[in-house]
Amino acid sequence: MRLERDRASVWDPFVRMFHWSLVLACLAVWFSAEEWEWLHVQTGYFILVLIGMRLLWGLLGPRHARFSDFLYSPRRTLDYLSDLRSGSPQHYLGHNPAGGWMVILLLLFLSGSAGSGMLTAFEHAEFWEDLHEGLANLTLLMIFVHLGGVLLSSVLHKENLVAAMWTGMKKRRDANV
């Protein structure tokens, strides 16, 4: 982790590229769902590639990219949410406990959506289509919750988390976790 005065390099190039590629891919699959089938299908495959690479990176990558860094116990996650309600949550240099679980949920729901989309080409297409649509809608809901969480954390910690995911740099605090 490289430190520059009061800032620390937290998100490595692959994590940032993964995040913004996933944003673009989600927009592409959502808007191509009705008309541009080829784009929809290829982007679905690309999302699976991204998730596969991220899973690998979660085991091999630097500290803050690893799952072990942001998977906290339910007790600690509930404590964090409780602190969040009181308006004074602890500052985490990597993902906070709620953010960490959101990453896992998004990865699961995106894999489910893309996987069920692939299976619509096989038997029981109607079942897979219904599942695909349901999971896609739930994923969209998760994305909005994620955006809300990012906004809330940015306000409470007075830190632009969107810019941090772009540059990879975050503010260093005395009470970092």
CB 43 within 8 A of CB 28: yes
The Cα–Cα gap between 134 and 140 comes to: 10
47-to-26, 84, 114 alpha-carbon distances in Å: 8, 31, 7
Output phi, psi for 7, to 5 deg: -120, 150
53 vs 142, beta carbon nearer another protein: 53
Nearest approach, Cβ of residue 138 and another protein (Å)? 25
Residue 101 touching another protein (CB under 8 A): no
54 vs 132, beta carbon nearer another protein: 54
Residue 8 touching another protein (CB under 8 A): no
Residue 121 touching another protein (CB under 8 A): no
Judged by CB under 8 A, which stretch of 10-18, 106-114, 131-139, 159-167 contacts another protein? 10-18
What DSSP line would sit under 116-161, residue for residue? HHHHTTSSSHHHHHHHHHHHHHHHHHHHHHHHHHHHHHHHHTT--H
**x/- map, 25-54, another protein, by CB under 8 A:** -----------x-xx--x--xx--xx--x-
Residue 55 touching another protein (CB under 8 A): no
| Summary count for the chain: helices (H), strands (E) | 7, 3
Task: By CB under 8 A, name the binding residues for another protein.
Answer: 1-2, 12-15, 17-18, 21, 36, 38-39, 42, 45-46, 49-50, 53, 56-57, 60-62
